[in-house]
Amino acid sequence: MSFDHLFKVVIIGSANVGKTSLIKRYIDDDFIFSKKTTIGIDFKTKDVEIEGKIVRLQIWDTAGQEIYRNSISFSSSIYKNADIFMIVFDLTEEKSLNKIGSYLNEIENNCRTNPLIVIVGNKSDLIEKENGNVEERINEILKGREFKFVKTSAKDGTNVNELFYEIAKKLTEES
What residue ranges bind ligand GDP (CB under 6 A)? Answer: 15-21, 32-33, 35, 37-38, 64, 122-123, 125-126, 153-155
The Cβ of residue 159 has, within 10 Å, a number of other Cβ atoms equal to 20
**75-96: burial string, b at 16+ Cβ within 10 Å, e else:** eeeebeebbbbbbbbbbebeeb
Strand order in the sheet with 116-122: 42-50, 53-61, 5-12, 84-90, 116-122, 148-151
Give the nearest distance from C-beta 122 to ligand GDP in angstroms.
Answer: 5
Can residue 16 be called a binding residue for Mg ion (CB under 5 A)?
no
Q: How far apart are CA 81 and CA 91, in angstroms?
A: 28
Q: Which is nearer to ligand GDP, 73 or 122 (CB)?
A: 122
Q: Which is nearer to ligand GDP, 64 or 134 (CB)?
A: 64
Residue 155 contact partner, candidates Mg ion, ligand GDP, none, CB within 5 to 8 A by sort of partner: ligand GDP
Could you tell me which stretch among 6-14, 27-35, 37-45, 134-142 binds Mg ion (CB under 5 A)? 37-45
Q: How far apart are CA 167 and CA 173, in angstroms?
A: 10
Give the nearest distance from C-beta 46 to ligand GDP in angstroms.
Answer: 17
Can residue 21 be called a binding residue for Mg ion (CB under 5 A)?
no
Q: Which is nearer to Mg ion, 55 or 96 (CB)?
A: 96
Give the nearest distance from C-beta 5 to Mg ion in angstroms.
Answer: 26
Can residue 38 be called a binding residue for Mg ion (CB under 5 A)?
yes
Can residue 20 be called a binding residue for Mg ion (CB under 5 A)?
yes
Residue 21 contact partner, candidates ligand GDP, Mg ion, none, CB within 5 to 8 A by sort of partner: ligand GDP
Q: Which is nearer to ligand GDP, 92 or 172 (CB)?
A: 92
Q: Residues interacting with Mg ion, by CB under 5 A?
A: 19-20, 38
